[in-house]
Structure 1
Amino acid sequence: MQECYVLQNIKLVDGNSVDIIVENKKIQNIVPAGTGSSGNVIDFKHKVIVSSGWIDMHVHAFPEFDPYGDDVDEIGYKTGVTTIVDAGSTGADQLPDLINSCKKSKTNVFAFLNISRIGLKRIDELSNLTWLDEVALKKAIAEHQEFIVGLKARISKSVVGPNGVKPLKVARKFSKDTGLPLMVHIGSGPPDINEVLDLLEKKDIITHFLNGKANNLFDKAGKPLPKLLDAIKRGVHLDVGHGNASFSFQTAEQAKAHNIHFDTISTDIYRKNRLHGPVYNMASVLTKFLYLGYPLKEVIDAVTVKAAEWLNKPELGSISPGGLANLTLFSIEDSDTKLMDSEGEERTAEQKIVVKGVVINGEYIEC
């Protein structure tokens, strides 16, 4: 691709068409549709939508780990996602290995540091409290502060073992000592979900908030728990984190009925659920929220504006002249599409989101 090119007659999420001129990897200008003529012109004929580059706040991108691992670009730009955030695949012991593996990739990468120094080397990484090594954690943060955006704690029965809510209390201390917010995975209890909610503060993230497990955020009648409402008022952030076992259509419909909206939509993608479902890719997950009746703008804001705001990197969530060009190009196509949640429930959508390409750090790539 030339140093200067034009994405011509391309639609914004609001439906208006523009030309976007990219020069020297940056957005040089945004002009009325059909008027851009610098360099190579790629005419999308008003059939393709552009947003700022999609951000996936919850992925597993350390290829060495199985089952919770994958290659960065396979879950990044090749699926329309220009920035991924690894959600605690590695702790202090192997964070440098994750960083080194990312250097070979085109996709932009940040990470939550697992509070357990062993990370997902074992999937009961919080069952032994000696693995919650504060010295090692602080050393990793000091050495890689530009890469780390927060701390990850997986607080469910299979991970914490007999320790209940104790690892989250340790995580809370780590958070206060380092100034880094928590991303907290919720799932089967114990600990009880109310114990978890009590410990969350402003800017902490609940991921998997639409899971269908018995220990979830909604009561038997489908109403949000009072402590969830209190957490939202405190500024706790709600993230989807679809994954193999953490998204239920029924729970999502309960949330929407009670006006409990997502802040960010993420995939919790890794090799297994990318290849075999039910995740597949970000476009498939976003399609589920279109199916649920959310407006396109709210869906796309959840993987652009809202994610960029949480990361304190607003430039990643906007299309504006002067910034490094990271864009996602996609269409909304009429097609009966089978969708499956993590409970095995199937629904049929009449429309689907299809990725057409990306601009990744200034480079245009068709998908």
Structure 2
Amino acid sequence: MGTENVLRNLQLVDGRIMDISIQDGIITAITPPGQVEGETELDCSGLYVSSGWIDLHVHAVPELNPYGDDIDEIGVKQGVTTLVDAGSRGADRIGDLYTASLKADTQLFALLNISRIGLERTDELSQLEWIDLAKAREAAASYPEFIVGLKARISQSVVKDSGIQPLLLARTLSEETKLPLMVHIGSAPPSISEVLELLQPGDVITHYLNGKSNNLFHEDGTPLQGLLDAIARGVHLDVGHGTASFSFRVAEQAKTAGIALNTISTDIYRGNRLNGPVYSISNVLTKFLYLGYSLEEVIRAVTSSAAAWLGKPELGQIRVGHQANLTMFALKKGEKQLKDSEGDIRVAQYYIEAKGVFTNGSLITS
């Protein structure tokens, strides 16, 4: 038998204080403090614990520019145990990303870019011949456990003169592969109403809180009817903060309108990690605390809600008999300056700080 590790005095987001015992990477007990002993004990007083954070929208291919970064740099080093690369690779090189994922401490899944070239260029849907449905189907069949969906970046700078046609092709590919679509929204054309009409249950709108003119809210802050219809039929909303896709003003409109918070993701890559406005997943989560969401709601958006969309609910649970997949974090009191993608600055009085993860049988500190 391996060493029994006990993480002592961890606080769950519901306020309970617990010890968590782990042996050979498996959770063996979750008890009130002091009821179990271990060969190795770590006092975690003052820290919260949740199931491992899941970031549903990142760019984890370091050699790509501008949208690239190292898997573990935006994964376990940030308190994230599971990443979903959102379309960095298409069918041409998805195998390279799969191979890289096997060497990382962070669990990585991928959304296959419907353009076979992926983000080798940032106008990857401007030429329809780059959307090779046969090659994409072959890629999806070759990596069924790794590829969890399809990615289509449907904004003017990406599609150029192709209009809505790439999304129509993506819809066809989704139906053929039974994989959901994550659709990036941004500047028109195509218009947001054209995009919304094509989305089906389980599909994802990422960047739903962007402040561009082609967004999901009227000028008075009320949601478009097309957004309400999409939500009603089961379309999933994902933050995808990124460099240009999160507005405090729009986020406040969404909250006022009662639009449910589904998943919080970063759309992180080297540039917006080092230079902002993303910096880290902790920074993005803090923005939603500032907006008035509870700690429980914020953490749910990177744990159980993301795990449910992935079809892997066990990733969003802390349970005896399951693999230990944990994120430890602090909730600190103090002023924290927060900037959105529009340059709007707000000051939070509390902030979240990742402290480490327990994954793959070992503790990794942030």
Asked whether the two chains share a fold, i.e. TM above 0.5, the reply is: yes
User: Post-superposition shift, 1:361?
Assistant: 2.1
The corresponding residue for 2:333 is 334
CA distance in 2, matches of 1:101, 1:365: 19
CA distance in 2, matches of 1:217, 1:193: 7
The corresponding residue for 1:53 is 52
Is 1:29–2:29 an aligned residue pair? yes
CA distance in 2, matches of 1:162, 1:60: 25
Opposite residue 125 of structure 1, the aligned amino acid is E
The TM-score normalised by the length of structure 2 is: 0.99
In structure 1, runs of 5+ residues without a counterpart are none
Count of aligned pairs between the two proteins: 365
1:53-202 alignment runs, 5 A limit: 53-202=52-201
Opposite residue 235 of structure 2, the aligned amino acid is V
The corresponding residue for 1:236 is 235
CA distance in 1, matches of 2:349, 2:34: 31
The corresponding residue for 2:211 is 212
- Is the contact between residue 182 and residue 205 of structure 1 (CA under 8 Å) also seen in structure 2? yes
The corresponding residue for 1:287 is 286
Opposite residue 76 of structure 1, the aligned amino acid is G
CA distance in 2, matches of 1:364, 1:34: 21
User: Post-superposition shift, 1:142?
Assistant: 1.1
Opposite residue 244 of structure 1, the aligned amino acid is T
Output one character per residue of 1:15-46: Cα deviation in whole Å (capped at 9) or x when no partner.
Answer: 1001000100111111111222122111122x
In the TM superposition, structure 1's runs of 4+ consecutive aligned residues that sit over 3 Å from their partners are none
Is 1:14–2:14 an aligned residue pair? yes
In structure 2, runs of 5+ residues without a counterpart are none
User: Post-superposition shift, 1:4?
Assistant: 1.9
Opposite residue 209 of structure 1, the aligned amino acid is Y
User: Post-superposition shift, 1:362?
Assistant: 2.2
The corresponding residue for 1:299 is 298
CA distance in 1, matches of 2:288, 2:280: 14
The corresponding residue for 2:248 is 249
Opposite residue 326 of structure 1, the aligned amino acid is N
User: Post-superposition shift, 1:3?
Assistant: 3.1
> Mean Cα displacement is larger for which, 277-286 or 357-366?
357-366
The TM-score normalised by the length of structure 1 is: 0.98
User: Post-superposition shift, 1:262?
Assistant: 2.1
> Mean Cα displacement is larger for which, 253-262 or 233-242?
253-262
User: Post-superposition shift, 1:144?
Assistant: 0.7
Output one character per residue of 1:230-288: Cα deviation in whole Å (capped at 9) or x when no partner.
Answer: 00000000000000000000000000000012210000000000111100110000000
Output one character per residue of 1:110-137: Cα deviation in whole Å (capped at 9) or x when no partner.
Answer: 0000000000001000010011101110
- Is the contact between residue 3 and residue 25 of structure 1 (CA under 8 Å) also seen in structure 2? no
Identity %: 59
SS of the equivalent of 1:75 reads coil
User: Post-superposition shift, 1:66?
Assistant: 0.5
CA distance in 2, matches of 1:122, 1:174: 21
Is 1:316–2:282 an aligned residue pair? no
The corresponding residue for 1:261 is 260
- Is the contact between residue 335 and residue 352 of structure 1 (CA under 8 Å) also seen in structure 2? yes
CA distance in 2, matches of 1:243, 1:286: 13
SS of the equivalent of 1:171 reads helix
SS of the equivalent of 2:7 reads strand
CA distance in 2, matches of 1:36, 1:164: 61
SS of the equivalent of 2:21 reads strand
- Is the contact between residue 287 and residue 352 of structure 1 (CA under 8 Å) also seen in structure 2? yes
Opposite residue 100 of structure 1, the aligned amino acid is T
The corresponding residue for 1:4 is 4
User: Post-superposition shift, 1:104?
Assistant: 1.7
Output one character per residue of 1:294-347: Cα deviation in whole Å (capped at 9) or x when no partner.
Answer: 011010000000000011101100000111111000011001000000011110
User: Post-superposition shift, 1:102?
Assistant: 1.8
- Is the contact between residue 62 and residue 89 of structure 1 (CA under 8 Å) also seen in structure 2? yes
SS of the equivalent of 1:8 reads strand
- Is the contact between residue 243 and residue 269 of structure 1 (CA under 8 Å) also seen in structure 2? yes
CA distance in 2, matches of 1:26, 1:233: 39
Output one character per residue of 1:174-197: Cα deviation in whole Å (capped at 9) or x when no partner.
Answer: 000110000000000000000000
Please provide the CA RMSD for this pair.
0.8
